[in-house]
Structure 1
């Protein structure tokens, strides 16, 4: 894998970092949180104007024709600034699910509006018992004549608080598999409850009480939604993990600066060997996490679906734990100031905690890896 950015990727990374450093300071973020608002329209318009919402969408549908690497570059910079806008939820999960599952006519109708920021579509696939794994969905969609009727609940819908529509996954027994439906936010029988999360971002909980949809609401083919959903979740997991890598980078930088200026016994505490060792451990965890993210990118672009999903789970588990360790240690090295709401370091730890719950927790992904290893070892093909 080539670890060097080309000129276009380098310009993309630089432009996002400039925005974060110039327009997304901690005080501006804190003001947005205290206002209770679920969105900053000006920021979302900036994302659209700079092409960040369109980066990894096909050119035929208003995108820039990029790859998951472009998404990761944007997300890593967003992670450094603790951006709370629903980039992963709408610009990645919603858009990539439509791109993977939709017919050409559906993509032509939906994706350009996502690319230019005029619409937000969130992915609603998680359920209370599924723990973030799409294959465990139990929501059912029954055929009623030429229509489908959906009942059930979806939890932790990233970006769902302000979404115009939702991609909802449900088991369709008549079609023999998982089907994806496009459900407008104002559809009768659909209730959307915004959920403020611990890191100042927002999700939603959906209740579908007899929502009736025409056959035209099906994305792609009935019963064949799982592969597209898993592909989009792989892209979304890379996005979330890139955010955490960016957050770890910034947390280490802030902590290193603090150790240089905080004095005890007349000397900077950064001169204490024990604290130097802690910072070194944090840096080592960051580099392991970064390498795992690279491995995931390589897998998404080269591996077959089963192997890719195994690496997705490996990556989500490892980077989630690394982020909690690094950001937790950053709080410890700051002492009392690290736990105050007014100081930024604690907010990186909050983001790490929330990220572990999104798209499946570490324990669920560990179990998924164990299941994959068991199946492949029985076939004589144990992955390394």
Structure 2
């Protein structure tokens, strides 16, 4: 695959890398993990640098950037282990607004995303639904011109701190029907929402949400409330692509950190990097990284296709390789670091945790391998 960044894209990469190198400190990150889950000051820096407005068109106040620019940003975030809710807010929340939002919804939300004053959370996962986006039991029933939402959502990333929730809910049909699913923008402080917040393994924070008679207006529905699954699938595939890029950044930094450790850690009076068997393992990690990087680029180039099947197949294939490479590099990094790799003080363990969570977000390797196989069977 021939892939080369433009001058503007190289400048973006240098800019975001420089910002995170200067402002994102690992020790501070550990404090955010324990207390606030992410830094509003860092979020403000991202807004000031224009990163929160990248994918939005200029008429909405953004910069009209595409998937490659998001890939650049997410790779940098993966290298720095960024906790801030860029995926939930800009990629997913912004994705629903860009692809399905009304003029009023765009006007009411996009400027607040761009200036950093509003964050989003995607409330989609349900008990026993696994990775199937059409498995929805949360209901949205008509009440006058508005809607009443009832149900439960689990592991909602940024659900504790978000200002607006993007909620999938069934407007008609049975639990696993592909039709009859809507997407609703719900104020996080709406009456009838109960939150159970907690930290997850990779340092992010999530919440389980219960909706009991939550009333929203007619302007809450994004797109067609009877047939929003194609919109959901498109936005989630964009989120998967962004996660692939983040994983590449995390793998890249994991490999660099591990190689540096091999060059400095001594055993039997010599650096362990001089042992040929460990050199071979590091070389295998590099191969896995480059395979993942190529598939991330492949998904990035395909995600803007107007053909839903082409997008879905490319993203699923990328997610399979990213998951496999992430698991291999993460495990090798921990083993080559020895016991210290398992401690909270060592950064390498945090990369492994984040890679593990990325694999299990919106479908693991087995799930996406099945998607690719089913797609090939239809050809």
TM-score (norm 2): 0.94
1:271 matched to 2:274? The reply is yes
RMSD of equivalent CA atoms: 1.7
In structure 2, what is the Cα distance between the partners aligned to 1:145 and 1:105? 20
Q: 1:310 aligns with which of 309, 313, 322?
A: 313
In structure 1, what is the Cα distance between the partners aligned to 2:312 and 2:303? 9
After TM superposition, the structure 1 = structure 2 runs for residues 54-133 of structure 1, keeping only pairs within 5 Å, are 54-133=53-132
**Secondary structure, in 3 states, of the residue corresponding to 2:332?**
helix
Query: How many equivalent pairs are there?
Result: 375
* 196-205 or 170-179, which deviates more: 170-179
**Secondary structure, in 3 states, of the residue corresponding to 1:195?**
strand
Deviation at 1:373, TM superposition (A): 3.0
Deviation at 1:362, TM superposition (A): 2.5
**Secondary structure, in 3 states, of the residue corresponding to 2:134?**
helix
In structure 1, what is the Cα distance between the partners aligned to 2:154 and 2:233? 18
In structure 1, what is the Cα distance between the partners aligned to 2:314 and 2:323? 14
Deviation at 1:213, TM superposition (A): 2.2
Deviation at 1:2, TM superposition (A): 5.2
Report if aligned partners of 1:89, 1:160 keep a CA contact under 8 Å in 2: no
1:296 matched to 2:295? The reply is no
Q: 1:324 aligns with which of 319, 324, 327?
A: 327
* 90-99 or 132-141, which deviates more: 132-141
Q: Which runs of 4+ in 1 moved over 4 A?
A: none
Report if aligned partners of 1:282, 1:325 keep a CA contact under 8 Å in 2: yes
TM-score (norm 1): 0.93
Report if aligned partners of 2:195, 2:209 keep a CA contact under 8 Å in 1: yes
1:351 matched to 2:354? The reply is yes
Residue in 1 aligned with 2:286?
283
**Secondary structure, in 3 states, of the residue corresponding to 1:53?**
helix
Deviation at 1:176, TM superposition (A): 5.0
Report if aligned partners of 2:85, 2:119 keep a CA contact under 8 Å in 1: no
Residue in 2 aligned with 1:235?
238
**Secondary structure, in 3 states, of the residue corresponding to 1:219?**
coil
Unaligned segments of structure 1, at least 5 residues = none
Residue in 2 aligned with 1:224?
227
Per-residue CA distance 1:318-360 (angstroms, 9 max, x = gap): 2022112101101101111111111111111011111122222
Report if aligned partners of 2:67, 2:301 keep a CA contact under 8 Å in 1: no
After TM superposition, the structure 1 = structure 2 runs for residues 18-57 of structure 1, keeping only pairs within 5 Å, are 18-34=18-34, 36-57=35-56
**Secondary structure, in 3 states, of the residue corresponding to 1:180?**
strand
Report if aligned partners of 2:241, 2:303 keep a CA contact under 8 Å in 1: no
Report if aligned partners of 2:197, 2:206 keep a CA contact under 8 Å in 1: yes
Deviation at 1:303, TM superposition (A): 5.3
**Secondary structure, in 3 states, of the residue corresponding to 2:156?**
coil
Per-residue CA distance 1:214-248 (angstroms, 9 max, x = gap): 22211122213222211211211111111110011
